[in-house]
Structure 1
Amino acid sequence: MVTRTVLAGLATLTVAGTATGLAPLEWGAGPLTIDALPRVVYTAHRGGALEVPENSMSGLMTTYRRGTADVLDVDTRILRDGTVVAMHDATLDRTTRAKGPVRGLTLADWQRVRLRPDSKLPGHWRAERPPTVAEVLDRLGGRVVLMLEAKDPDSLDTLARMIRARGLTRSVLVNSNHPEVALRAHRLGLMSQLWRSKKQMRTDRPERWASFVDVLDVDYKARDSDLVRAVRSGIPRVWAHTVNTRKQRDRVLRLGCNGVITDAPALLARAGKGRGHRT
């Protein structure tokens, strides 16, 4: 038996279980999985980066509590000592009060970093410490589907160990721009997601990835024909990024996408669920 602490909102809950079958009480019969997602899925990109500080715990928790997204997206980087953390850029310069490469830090260094929330964000946000991915998994894993983008492909084995240890293999998508990383994720027993740019989609043959990609993450700016080809590839879930207006959303849903990835989940929620996707 092992015991771990799970942070649930502002409360702390200690639960016990086996190393392969931990089940926090708030899960009920089990963690929320990708199979339980609605027909049209809304993903909060970086937690909803036009509405909350990106890749921050307070931002992720705010979006989760608002209920405006079905999936929370978190970028991941690996530190010098192997710790995996929530961060989009390879450097600290844009989003924190520090400077320099993320890869050069240890966990002790990381705990001294403070985020610098964008002054254009609505509301008031404190300069909090950015989370590790373990902290994100422990606070939100199983309560909402998470999308972890592996910015550093060499972090994949560590991500797989953390996801498997928490019983979250069907509750966490691992995202990459590289088909070979998506294939590795699949072979590690993870849910794999592959994102592609407008330029890449012009020559992609997405049907080649149907056997190992669970979600194809496509650029909404791609040509209609490229989006339709993705939808018809045999990959069951095709979500468009980064969709921040009702017009953009309605177009990709009309072309057959069954999800959107957005920096503004609350804004799109206020604009309604959008037109049903083509069958």
Structure 2
Amino acid sequence: MVAMVTRIALTGLASAVSVVSLTLTGSAGVAPALPADIRPPAGQTRPLEWGSGPLTVAALPRIAYVAHRGGAREVPENSMTGLMAAYERGTAQVLDFDTRSLRDGTPVVFHDRTLNRTTYLGGEVRGLDAREWQGVRLRPKDALPGSWRSERPPTVAEVLDRFGGRIVLMLEAKDPRSLDRLAGLIRARGLTRSVFVNSNDPEVARRAHRLGLLAQLWRSARQLRTDRPERWRSYVDLLDVDHRARDADLVRAVRSGIRRVWAHTVVTDAQRDRVLALGCDGVITDAPGRLARAAQRGAQRGARP
């Protein structure tokens, strides 16, 4: 069994964010009598940063950077502390995380089907309920820079409450059957224009669109060889393409008519420069800090007389 560990005490901005629930009340399209884990906390007001509403995809720059799983080469993937670190550093405009469902239907932030790779436990994620999830602890990789303590993986509701409306979010629905539950969480918080919902399945993307969500579809290099992305432009808001795809396949995706085409999972300057040169307008990266530092160094060199 896992030894109990002390939860990380976030300071500064982290503390300020942790006590604010990012909730819009009275949002259009919210069904009545929502389950308790979907309803936003009562008695909370909008954060001052929202102004008249939450930050949405309309605020994204021309070229967007995404911290994949929070920036998995720089922070513990899919952890609350890792997501907070990526948010505070400001090197990405979008935070990405994965979602799976527990036995009782609770959506949690986790990538793998099993607990083995990233926690101290084993077995399938869906074998646990919400109470048992409280005992799961992440195992940070030794190779990560800095010092990281173990912590419980968050639920999707916790991540939406902490970051929703402050930064654009991207979540992958690893369990397609959870889509209705995820939609309820997003709609209840007024975040339908602030959260991309990702899948590798065009039919799941179509369902997300019908639910009023921002539909994201990711495709591998192999899939892109035979894909016809123009078929998806009526319901896909973001096409997420493998940077290893052939030039011709990336160009075809860019010209498909889908508004946003972002490339995954980029870790080097050369990979980033290639996909941007081919017309992609977003970079999904495990190393947002490193790419940002490299870009800054390049800009400084270019500014020298």
Report the TM-score range of the alignment, normalised by the length of the smaller protein. Answer: over 0.9
Q: How far apart, CA to CA, are the structure 2 residues paired with 1:199 and 1:20? A: 41
Counterpart residue identity of residue 169, structure 1: T
Q: Which amino acid aligns with 2:227?
A: D
**Quick one: which amino acid aligns to residue 51 of structure 2?**
G
Is the CA contact (8 Å cut-off) linking 2:25 and 2:190 kept in structure 1?
no
User: Which is further off, 156-165 or 24-33?
Assistant: 24-33
Partner Cα separation in structure 2 for residue 167 and residue 147 of structure 1: 15
- 8 Å CA contact retained: 2:23, 2:190: no
Which of residues 25, 29, 44 in structure 2 aligns to 1:18?
Answer: 25
CA shift, 1:9, in A, is 2.5
Instruction: Name the residue aligned to 1:4.
Output: none
Q: Tell me the secondary structure at the aligned position of residue 100 of structure 2.
A: strand
Could you say which residue in structure 1 is the equivalent of 2:195? Answer: 172
Q: Percent identity?
A: 71
SS, match of residue 242 in structure 1: strand
What is the CA distance between 1:158 and its match in structure 2?
0.4
1:89 to 112, 117, 126: 112
Which protein shows a greater Rg?
Answer: 2
Partner of 1:5: none
The residue identity in structure 2 corresponding to 1:110 is: W
Report how far residue 160 of structure 1 moved.
0.3
Measured after TM superposition, the shift of residue 28 of structure 1 is 1.7
Matches within 5 A, 1:51-200: 51-200=74-223
Pair 1:209-2:214 in alignment = no
Q: Which amino acid aligns with 1:20?
A: S
Q: Give the Cα separation in 2 of the matches to 1:232 and 1:107.
A: 44
Find the partner of 1:248 among 254, 257, 271. Answer: 271
Q: How does 1:212-231 map to 2 (within 5 A)?
A: 212-231=235-254
Give the partner amino acid of 1:68.
T
Q: Distance in 2 between matches of 1:16 and 1:263?
A: 29
CA contact (8 A) 1:9 1:139 kept: no
Q: Which 10-residue stretch deviates more, 252-261 or 10-19?
A: 10-19
d(CA) in 2 for partners of 1:256 and 1:170? Answer: 24
Deviation beyond 4 Å, 4+ runs, structure 1: 14-17
Aligned-partner Cα distance in 1 for 2:14–2:190: 20
Please, which runs of 5 or more residues in structure 1 have no aligned partner?
A: 1-7
For 1:119 and 1:143, the matched residues in 2 are separated by 30
User: Which deviations, in whole Å up to 9, do the C-alpha atoms of 1:223-263 show, x marking residues without a partner?
Assistant: 00000000000001000000000000000000000001000
The alignment partner of 1:229 has SS state of: helix
**Helix, strand or coil at the partner of 1:13:** coil
Structure 2 Cα separation of the partners of residues 52 and 270 of structure 1: 16
Alpha-carbon shift at residue 47 of structure 1 (Å): 0.5
After superposition, the Cα gap between the structure-2 partners of 1:14 and 1:74, relative to the gap in structure 1 and judged at 3 Å, is closer
Aligned mates of 2:130, 2:52 — CA distance in 1: 34
CA contact (8 A) 1:182 1:193 kept: yes
Q: Distance in 2 between matches of 1:170 and 1:9?
A: 24
Compare 264-273 and 11-20 and name the one that shifted more: 11-20
Task: Give the deviation of 1:20 after TM superposition.
Answer: 2.1
Matched, 1:9 2:32: no
Aligned to 2:262: 239
* Deviation of the 1:72 alpha carbon: 0.4
Secondary structure at the counterpart of residue 266 of structure 2? coil
- Considering only aligned residues, what root-mean-square deviation do their CA atoms show, in Å? 1.6
Deviation of residue 17 (structure 1)?
6.1
**Which structure shows the higher strand fraction?**
1
